[in-house]
Amino acid sequence: MKLINRLTFLVLAFATATACSADQAAEAVENEFYEYKSGSRDGIGKFYMGREISHVMGHLGAGWLERPERERQERTDLLIERLAIDPDDNVADIGAGTGYFTFPIAARVPEGQVYAVDIQPEMLTLLGERQKALSVANVKAVLGSETSPNLPANTIDLTFIVDAYHEFSYPREMGVALVESLRPGGKLVLIEYRSEDPSVPIKTLHKMSEEQVRLEMQAIGLDWVTTEDYLPQQHVLIFEKPASNEKAN
Ligand SMILES: C[S@@+](CC[C@H](N)C(=O)[O-])C[C@H]1O[C@@H](n2cnc3c(N)ncnc32)[C@H](O)[C@@H]1O
């Protein structure tokens, strides 16, 4: 009996030591990219490349995404119209929310597929209800994690992220995983409210400057293609995955 107790103790001690060192390793990796300090009310107190990450917009705010005046305020119609996509493209709508953009994009890729990725199952439920009502076949809802969109590697022609990137709690890990899922030469289109413009009526941490976005995308190995400012409130930044993706630092 004594021998069994001793063995049990040794097994538990080993398991605890292994768990601690795994935790420490995770923390060490995290601290390489992130700083933690007291932040603002709208932020999570975690900073990436000098930027404080904002809280995630909860699913109870879904109505705001679907507000009738959104098209006029943000010219979302123009954004969809000007997206350079082919009918057979595979598109990833990251942080898809209720699917406000997912379904108009799906209509533009009748021979392709739209992966609607979100970390909130409640958002994906709303999106699924809409998919059923509209009888759309080429949309696949994907539950992502904070660090990965859970998409297959080298399959996406266009990654589309509207008003979500600033909420990613692990932007570096998400960014690396997004690049992995893009095919070489594939594009990433990032839309964020312009922080350079104080007249844009959005909380500071929910806006981003062009300079900051370019810095963060460069860090994960994407090439900047262009920045278009034809929308009333948001930047449209376009990046490309290089043929050989060895540039992440
Ligand atoms: C402000 S909403 C924008 C929704 C949609 N793109 C739109 O413009 O209507 C941001 C969405 O991003 C999602 N999100 C936050 N972090 C995420 C992550 N790491 N991966 C995927 N989705 C994420 C949130 O759950 C939320 O649904």
Nearest CA to 118 out of 96, 140, 103, 133 is that of: 96
Q: At what angle do helices 171-181 and 210-219 cross, to 10 degrees?
A: 70
Q: How far is the CA of 171 from the centre of ligand 1 (A)?
A: 13
Q: What is the CA radius of gyration of the chain?
A: 21
Backbone phi, psi, residue 143, to 5°: -85, 115
Q: In this predicted structure, what is the pLDDT of residue 160?
A: 98
How many Cα atoms occupy the beta-carbon half-sphere of 237 within 13 Å? 25
Per-residue pLDDT tens over the stretch 141-172: 999 999 999 999 999 999 999 999 999 999 99
**Tokens 């929310």 map to which residue?**
97
In whole angstroms, give the CA distance from residue 158 to residue 83: 10
Pairing of strands 234-240, 223-228: antiparallel
Return the exposure string of 63-91: e unless at least 16 CB atoms fall within 10 Å of the residue's CB, then b: eebeeeeeeeebbbeebbeebebeeebbb
At residue 6, what is the residue type? R
Q: In this predicted structure, what is the pLDDT of residue 29?
A: 52
Q: Residue 54 — left, alpha, or beta (φ > 0 → left; ψ -120 to 50 → alpha)?
A: beta
The residues with which 113 forms a beta bridge, in sequence order, are 90
In whole angstroms, give the CA distance from residue 140 to residue 132: 12
Assess whether the C-beta atom of 95 lies below 6 angstroms from ligand 1: yes
Burial of 229 (0-12, 13-18, 19+ CB in 10 A): middle
Q: How far is the CA of 94 from the centre of ligand 1 (A)?
A: 7
Tokens of 9: 């103790």
- Give the length of the chain: 249
Weakly modelled stretches of the chain, pLDDT under 70: 1-30, 245-249
Nearest CA to ligand 1 atom 4: 97
Q: In this predicted structure, what is the pLDDT of residue 10?
A: 42
Per-residue pLDDT tens over the stretch 101-116: 999 999 999 999 999 9
Q: How far is the CA of 149 from the centre of ligand 1 (A)?
A: 11
In whole angstroms, give the CA distance from residue 161 to residue 209: 15
Assess whether the C-beta atom of 71 lies below 6 angstroms from ligand 1: no
Q: In this predicted structure, what is the pLDDT of residue 30?
A: 56
Stated pTM of the model: 0.88
139 sits in which H/E element: strand 139-143
Q: How far is the CA of 165 from the centre of ligand 1 (A)?
A: 7
**Count of CB atoms within 10 A of residue 191's CB?**
23
H runs (alpha helix) in 34-120 = 62-65, 70-74, 76-82, 102-108
Q: In this predicted structure, what is the pLDDT of residue 226?
A: 98
